[in-house]
Amino acid sequence: MGINILGMGRYVPEQVLTNDDFTRFIETNDEWIRTRTGIVSRPMAGWEPTWYMGKQAALKAIENAGIDPKDIGLVISTTATADFHTPSMASIIQNETGAVNAGAFDLNAACTGFVYAMDTAAKFLSTDRDMKYILIVANESLSRFLDFTDRGSCILFGDGAAAAVVEYSDKLYSSVLGSEGAGGKFLYARSMQVAPEVACQPPEDFSSDYEELPLHKLHQDGKDVYKFAVQALPRSFELAAGKIGVTKDDIDWFIPHQANIRIIETAAKKLDAPMDKFIITLDHYGNTSSASIPLALSESIDKGIIKRGQKLALIGFGAGLTYGGIIIEY
Ligand code: UT7
């Protein structure tokens, strides 16, 4: 079993926040952000809801794939920042794109969402061979969940969407999905719908400042997430690669979750793989959660960097704490 990416599309908001812009409201500077993260600027949604960005990306992916949206059997939307608890982003996008014959659901695996969705799609397509195409839409508006007084987290994230139309293929394929739920306390945002007067008990050992946190704002223990990330990235690749006897030398491009250049550099060292095989877009997108890997993929395809026939390793990590990797041929 495997998967073929027929076409991709992306949408990022026009509004951009540079590192210097942050100096207007928090104690920070461009040099610290660049050297500690590699990020220079990030798109920020203004009026655009999450589903709108997803819809725009999806329409481009459908156009680039050259398919009739009526032939899409399933829409999977990956998001940790949905506009609604219900309906799903996927159902909204299904309607907006004319995918009238598709089922639809959202998938939340935080920043690992696209990897989870690709693997889910590969498995749907291989068990239901009547399903022609699946539309995966990764759409995120992290800015709505950021605590803009927390300089350790608010400078990291951006907003945007990317989508892929995929079909069944018997090309090279391997995957691994994982989660270390004990690390949930290191990166979380409370649900928006919980009324302040309703006691919402956190899982045991969530941070002691849980009650004081602004409702639904992102809480992050940066160092703990960092420690997890630098081992999760190489491990995800090695686990997926080991299943099919592929080594890092067989891979043309690594497309890691775009969180921090130092995390990617450390992972590259652990894998003993050259940095010039790693696609980097975090400088201009920041960390867009589940949209980060498909944004990097879509941009690199459009620039002619990633070409048909090349072997790709898509590797992610994120809140959960989740991790996962897939190896595919483009
Ligand atoms: O999708 C997953 C999402 N999350 C991640 O991937 C996060 C992973 N973690 C990280 O990327 C890094 O831990 C951060 C970038 C968040 C922080 O980098 P760090 O090297 O771990 O810095 P730190 O938290 O140890 O802070 C070092 C210093 C502190 O000052 P003191 O205590 O040494 O005086 C911070 O207060 O840097 C300070 N600092 C800042 N200074 C200027 C923290 N944030 C900033 C800032 N500007 N924005």
* pLDDT tens digit sequence for 195-227: 656 666 677 677 656 666 666 789 899 999 999
The answer on 162 and 35 residing in a single domain is yes
Query: Measured from the CA of 155, which atom of ligand 1 is nearest?
Result: 48
- Give residue-wise pLDDT tens across range 277-330: 999 999 999 999 999 999 999 999 999 999 999 999 999 999 999 999 999 999
d(CA 291, CA 138): 5
The answer on 310 and 248 residing in a single domain is yes
What is the domain range of residue 140? 2-171
Residue 26 lies in a domain: yes
The answer on 132 and 17 residing in a single domain is yes
Q: Residue 31 C-alpha to ligand 1 middle, in angstroms?
A: 13
pLDDT at 179: 97
Query: Measured from the CA of 22, which atom of ligand 1 is nearest?
Result: 48
The answer on 142 and 62 residing in a single domain is yes
- Give residue-wise pLDDT tens across range 100-148: 999 999 999 999 999 999 999 999 999 999 999 999 999 999 999 999 9
pLDDT at 72: 98
The answer on 302 and 246 residing in a single domain is yes
Q: How, if at all, do strands 133-141 and 159-169 pair?
A: antiparallel
Is the distance from the beta carbon of residue 225 to the nearest atom of ligand 1 less than 6 Å?
yes
Residue 192 lies in a domain: no
Residue 80 lies in a domain: yes
pLDDT at 224: 95
Q: Residue 222 C-alpha to ligand 1 middle, in angstroms?
A: 6
What is the dihedral sign for C-alpha 45, 49, 51, 52?
negative
Q: Which tokens go with 43?
A: 């798109």
Residue 195 lies in a domain: no
Q: Which helix (H) or strand (E) holds 44?
A: none
Is the distance from the beta carbon of residue 287 to the nearest atom of ligand 1 less than 6 Å?
yes
d(CA 238, CA 286): 26
pTM: 0.95
Q: Provide the domain count of the chain.
A: 2
Q: Return the exposure string of 1-15: e unless at least 16 CB atoms fall within 10 Å of the residue's CB, then b.
A: ebbbbbbbbbbbbee
The answer on 323 and 232 residing in a single domain is yes
d(CA 257, CA 281): 10
For 79-123, list the strands marked E by DSSP: 103-107
Q: Does the pLDDT value for residue 182 go beyond 60?
A: yes
For ligand 1, atom 29, the nearest C-alpha belongs to: 152
CATH code of the domain containing 167 = 3.40.47.10
Minimal CA–CA distance to 313: which of 234, 227, 232? 234
The answer on 29 and 142 residing in a single domain is yes
The answer on 140 and 9 residing in a single domain is yes
